[in-house]
Amino acid sequence: MLGPVILAASRSDKMRRIVSAAPVTKPVVNRFIPGETVDQVIPIVTELAGKGLEVTLDVVGEDITTPGQATAARDAYLRLIERLKPLGLGARAEMSVKLSMFGQALENGHELALANVRPVVEAAAEIGTTVTLDAEDHTTLDSMFAIHEELRKDFPQTGCVIQAYLFRTEEDARRLAANGSRVRIVKGAYKEPASVAYQDRTEIDKAYVRVLGTLMAGSGYPMIGSHDPRLIAITQELARRHGRKLDEYEFQMLYGIRSEEHVRLAAEGHRMRVYTAYGTDWYGYFMRRLAEKPANLLFFVRSMITK
């Protein structure tokens, strides 16, 4: 019951001001968002790489309101790529972007987001890596998939994300699996209405397994974004069944969640990529992490009371 309430709060400016200003918020936020600047995140990338883990880096931010903010988002990613260059990690350090941060919801937003994200994808390709387009709420997805297709004409490694909770996803998965795309499959983190999305967790899990089956049987590169032990086991079984080698799919998990599992899977020879978010505009990302596990909220509230 708490999840939907927290997700509604994640879109509230008033709550954003209250939560962001509370001094006790910081240590709890740091569990999921380990830094605010590129200087703080680079040592974390190095540390994760040292453990045999790969990363996808997200400069947090979404729902911007001016074209200037979209340009600033582009520049933040370009600075990040400059800093990654000397590390020589290539595709072991990729980027995840939210198109709403690149101007997608503004006037002429589709064109604006494409124009802002393209230089990031180009710069990523120059250092041997790539970009994955995150999936936001369902109203943004037609535009996201069209931008993905457009970018893939020049940069076929560009990835995108699909969300198992949406009814549309099985069809999206069939299309993406047939055209050889890199696709991250996740359960879905936004508050979506019953007209477009499954609401029941069991239904969502079943849909995830169906979509996973489509991706693993297809010609693309599936990226399994989940911490759910049953889905990890099902992925391993499907990989065996479809004869996929260890480098023909990968697991992805969020920084700060089930970290011991990241290392365990990597030690078994799996590709494990840690989604690592950093930056100052962490509110929306943080609130979605609270919504996924209400125990996080209790921890957060307790830290506010005991300070």
Q: Which helix (H) or strand (E) holds 20?
A: helix 13-21
The site for ligand FAD (CB under 6 A) is made up of 134-135, 161, 163, 184, 186-190, 225-228, 252-254, 257-258, 275, 289, 292-293, 296
Q: How many CA atoms lie within 13 A of 29 on its CB side?
A: 22
Q: Which residues are part of a known binding site?
A: 98, 163, 187-189, 226-227, 288-289
Strand 93-97 versus strand 221-225 pairing type: unpaired
Distance of CA 121 to the CA centre of its chain: 16
* 200 labelled catalytic: no
Q: Closest CB to ligand FAD among 193 and 243?
A: 193
Q: 3-class DSSP state for residue 133?
A: strand
Q: The tokens of 288 are what?
A: 């979605």
Least distance CB 86 / ligand FAD (angstroms):
25
List, in order, residues 6 or more apart from 248 with CB less than 8 Å away.
Answer: 221, 239
Q: Closest CB to ligand FAD among 4 and 243?
A: 4
Q: Closest CB to ligand FAD among 76 and 164?
A: 164
Q: In the chain, at which residue ranges do the beta strands (DSSP E only) sit?
A: 54-59, 93-97, 131-133, 159-163, 182-186, 221-225, 250-254, 272-278
Strand 182-186 versus strand 159-163 pairing type: parallel
Find the catalytic residue in 184, 205, 273, 281: 184
Find the catalytic residue in 58, 134, 137, 281: 134
CB 224, CB 270: distance < 8 Å = no
Q: The tokens of 153 are what?
A: 């004409």
Q: Closest CB to ligand FAD among 38 and 254?
A: 254
Least distance CB 148 / ligand FAD (angstroms):
12
The DSSP line for 235-271 is HHHHHHHTT--GGGSEEEEETTSSHHHHHHHHHTT--
Least distance CB 257 / ligand FAD (angstroms):
5
Angle of helix 67-84 versus helix 38-50 axis, rounded to 10: 40
Least distance CB 192 / ligand FAD (angstroms):
9
Q: Closest CB to ligand FAD among 175 and 191?
A: 191
Residue type, 125: A
* 228 labelled catalytic: no
Least distance CB 247 / ligand FAD (angstroms):
18
Q: Catalytic residues, which ones?
A: 134, 184
